[in-house]
């Protein structure tokens, strides 16, 4: 292919890291590419410090990028897969997925808010920053004395807000923190096990999006595809779809495919961010109907 592949991406540090990573993987596969930075509604409203459910419509971090793809302004897009709705707009497809970075969530505790003898060494009645209903519900389950406060902005901005004392702790995806190699020496990091504090479906995975009819780009992206990862993210996202939840729903789903070929699913669901958390665990030697069984259990 002589064409330089145009990669559509948001302009945040994490998005640019992910797009550069993709550019490098394409280069290794023999394809030249360039980045095209696109501003999204999500980027334009970050200063408002709103919780996600106050922003109308799904996909506010992705719509402008998808429109650019459909217009033909870019050839492909890189997204954090967990930010993607389970159904694609007409004409677009998530055609390949990356390796999986650590899927865990990490709690970052300000040194001044540490207290021996408390769970996670986090002081009593802490103020914890997160805008995710999934994280709020699971934090309250572990620390009912916590006050949850919304926090927005990109990953480095959120860490700055913690250090400035606006919060005693904040929660972020390990994937974003590791990719950006942020200096976390000034905070205490609690690394949760994703089988206990359950991540968002497809957390830690990048999705490569293309136009459904664009056979040339889709073939190029096959070189970047990790079918072992798509096996488990398909199950996680199928459960999300069956629960009819967007990124606002307090739902965590994590799936592992072990060396013996067995699938293990851990899920956590609440009816609201401040409602009790229900946890479900299932294992199966086949993926057949596994998502359906987990969803059925979660709905009981």
Ligand X SMILES: NCc1[nH]cc(CCC(=O)O)c1CC(=O)O
Footprint of ligand X on this chain (CB under 6 A)?
A: 80, 82-83, 155, 172-173, 175-176, 203-204
Instruction: Give the nearest distance from C-beta 203 to ligand X in angstroms.
Output: 4
CB 47 within 8 A of CB 161: no
Cβ count within 10 A of residue 184: 12
Instruction: Give the nearest distance from C-beta 289 to ligand X in angstroms.
Output: 27
Phi-psi region at 194: left, alpha or beta (left = phi > 0; alpha = psi -120 to 50): alpha
Of the pair 211, 249, the CB lying nearest ligand X is at: 249
CB 263 within 8 A of CB 256: yes
Instruction: Give the nearest distance from C-beta 33 to ligand X in angstroms.
Output: 21
Long-range CB contact pairs, 241-247, < 8 A, 24+: 241/86, 241/87, 242/291, 242/292, 242/295, 243/269, 243/295, 243/298, 243/299, 246/58, 246/85, 247/52, 247/58, 247/82, 247/83, 247/132, 247/200
Of the pair 108, 211, the CB lying nearest ligand X is at: 108
Residue tagged active-site, from 43, 67, 83, 141 = 83
Of the pair 176, 214, the CB lying nearest ligand X is at: 176
Sheet holding 169-173, edge to edge: 147-149, 127-129, 169-173, 105-110, 187-191
Active site residue 183: no
Instruction: Give the nearest distance from C-beta 124 to ligand X in angstroms.
Output: 25
Of the pair 172, 211, the CB lying nearest ligand X is at: 172
Just list the catalytic residues.
83
């Amino acid at each position: 292919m002589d064409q330089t592949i145009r990669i559509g991406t948001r302009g945040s540090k994490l998005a640019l890291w992910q797009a550069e990573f993709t550019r490098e993987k394409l280069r290794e596969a023999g394809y030249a590419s360039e980045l095209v930075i696109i501003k999204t509604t999500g980027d334009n409203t970050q200063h408002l410090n709103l919780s996600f459910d106050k922003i109308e419509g799904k996909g506010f971090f992705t719509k402008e990028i998808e429109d650019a793809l459909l217009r033909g302004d870019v050839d492909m897009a890189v997204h954090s897969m967990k930010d993607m709705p389970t159904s694609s707009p007409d004409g677009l497809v998530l055609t390949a997925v990356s390796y999986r970075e650590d899927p865990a969530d990490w709690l970052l505790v300000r040194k001044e808010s540490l207290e021996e003898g408390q769970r996670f060494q986090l002081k009593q009645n802490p103020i914890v920053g997160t805008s995710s209903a999934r994280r709020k519900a699971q934090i309250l389950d572990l620390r009912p004395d916590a006050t949850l406060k919304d926090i927005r902005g990109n990953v480095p901005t959120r860490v700055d807000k913690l250090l400035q004392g606006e919060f005693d702790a904040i929660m972020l995806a390990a994937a974003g923190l590791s990719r950006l190699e942020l200096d976390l020496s000034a905070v205490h990091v609690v690394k949760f096990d994703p089988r206990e504090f359950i991540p968002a479906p497809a957390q830690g995975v990048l999705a490569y999006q293309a136009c459904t009819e664009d056979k040339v780009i889709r073939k190029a992206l096959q070189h970047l595809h990790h079918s072992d990862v798509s096996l488990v993210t398909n199950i996680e996202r199928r459960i999300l779809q069956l629960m009819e939840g967007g990124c606002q729903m307090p739902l965590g789903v994590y799936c592992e495919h072990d060396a013996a070929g067995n699938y293990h699913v851990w899920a956590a669901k609440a009816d609201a961010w401040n409602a009790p958390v229900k946890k479900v665990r299932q294992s199966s030697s086949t993926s057949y109907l596994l998502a359906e069984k987990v969803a059925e259990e979660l709905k009981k």
